[in-house]
């Protein structure tokens, strides 16, 4: 909790004396190792706080839901917000609203006919992110830029030696490392075709929405290429594509 509530930047934090405010128990039938990654708390229209936590019971993946009226005493709800059999451990769940007629981020209080809610979770079993879209009566919302910042996972198979050589690994604040931007306008990609993205080095790049790291058997420096491909039989439309080369991060 903040050490000084009058500090507008909340630069110093201390441990809350009543921790933990949420914890797995034998009654919940949840193992402590399957209880992780709470979302940002949000306040519902009934003035009750809510938090999602990733979990599992055997092979049942769960986004369990806690509620609180005072932000100190939390109660696990009888049913999870969502679950799916055979998916095992759910990590880094998130829950947030999106507009169906625009691309600006929304605060959690958003409601209306043109608002949908997204439940995102990362599966420990597959190392992929999954999204469920529906209606509802965490993520961080940047109200200044009207955008929602979402953390996802990309399967990282670099060795420690590789990480040291390239200068970064699992970088979170990645926007400051971007350089040499390549922008594509809308394109139609025919079935069975591919297009090369030139102007960036594929071994250190970032693409909006889709992040891809490829390690071929023999390819170094300029021999590494980046392609956008369509292995299907029907044509698809690329709305836009942005790609950047990444400079080395300063790690302390």
* Domain count across the chain: 2
Chain-centroid distance of CA 93 in Å reads 8
Q: Which of 45, 46, 168, 40 is nearest to 92 (CA)?
A: 40
pLDDT at 61: 93
**Residue pLDDT, tens place only, 47-87:** 889 999 999 988 999 999 999 999 889 999 888 989 999 99
Domain boundary among 149, 184, 215: 149
Provide CB contacts within 8 A for 151, sequence distance 6+.
Answer: 92, 94, 172
Whether residue 109 is found in the same domain as residue 197: no
Q: What distance in Å separates the CA atoms of residue 244 and residue 174, rounded to the nearest whole number?
A: 11
Whether residue 42 is found in the same domain as residue 142: yes
DSSP letters of 181-216?
EEEE--EEE-TT-EEE--SS-TTSEEESS-------
pLDDT at 239: 84
Whether residue 36 is found in the same domain as residue 126: yes
**Residue pLDDT, tens place only, 186-205:** 888 888 888 888 877 655 44
Provide CB contacts within 8 A for 6, sequence distance 6+.
Answer: none
**Residue pLDDT, tens place only, 129-150:** 888 887 765 445 566 677 766 5
When mean pLDDT is compared across 7-11, 132-136, 219-223, 239-243, the lowest value belongs to 219-223
**Residue pLDDT, tens place only, 79-137:** 898 999 999 999 999 998 888 888 888 887 777 788 888 999 999 888 888 888 877 65
CB 138 within 8 A of CB 105: no
Buried-state track 230-250, b at ≥16 Cβ within 10 A, e below 16: beeeeeeeeeebebbbbeeee
103 located within any domain = yes
Whether residue 143 is found in the same domain as residue 172: no
Q: What is the CATH number of the domain that holds 67?
A: 2.115.10.20
Domain boundary among 115, 149, 183: 149
- Ramachandran region, residue 161 (left: φ > 0; alpha: ψ -120 to 50; beta: rest): alpha
**Per-residue pLDDT at 173 exceeds 70:** no
Q: Quick check: pTM over 0.85?
A: no
CB 48 within 8 A of CB 74: no
**Per-residue pLDDT at 233 exceeds 50:** yes
224 located within any domain = yes
Whether residue 143 is found in the same domain as residue 171: no
Helices and strands of the chain, counted as H and E runs: 1, 18
The mean per-residue pLDDT over the stretch 216-220 comes to 52
> How, if at all, do strands 49-57 and 205-207 pair?
unpaired
pLDDT at 140: 53
**7's tokens:** 């500090």
Instruction: Tell me which of 218 and 113 has the higher pLDDT.
Output: 113
């Amino acid at each position: 909790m903040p050490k000084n509530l009058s500090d507008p930047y909340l630069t110093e934090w201390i441990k809350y004396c009543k921790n933990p405010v949420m914890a797995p128990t034998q009654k919940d039938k949840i193992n402590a190792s399957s209880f992780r990654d709470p979302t940002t708390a949000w306040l519902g229209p009934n003035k009750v706080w809510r938090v999602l936590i990733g979990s599992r019971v055997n092979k049942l993946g769960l986004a369990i839901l806690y509620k609180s009226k005072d932000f100190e005493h939390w109660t696990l709800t009888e049913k999870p917000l969502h679950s799916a059999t055979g998916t095992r451990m759910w990590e880094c769940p998130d829950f947030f609203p999106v507009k169906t007629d625009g691309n600006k981020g929304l605060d959690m209080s958003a409601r209306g006919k043109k608002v949908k809610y997204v439940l995102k979770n990362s599966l420990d079993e597959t190392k992929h992110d999954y999204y469920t879209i529906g209606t509802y009566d965490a993520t961080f919302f940047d109200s200044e830029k009207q955008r929602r910042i979402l953390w996802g996972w990309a399967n990282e198979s670099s060795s420690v030696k590789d990480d040291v050589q390239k200068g970064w690994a699992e970088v979170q604040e990645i926007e400051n490392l971007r350089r040499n931007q390549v922008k594509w306008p809308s394109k139609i990609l025919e079935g069975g075709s591919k297009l090369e993205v030139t102007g960036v080095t594929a071994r250190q790049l970032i693409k909006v929405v889709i992040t891809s790291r490829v390690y071929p058997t023999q390819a170094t420096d300029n021999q590494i290429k980046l392609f956008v491909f369509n292995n299907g039989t029907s044509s698809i439309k690329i709305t836009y594509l942005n790609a950047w080369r990444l400079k080395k991060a300063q790690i302390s």
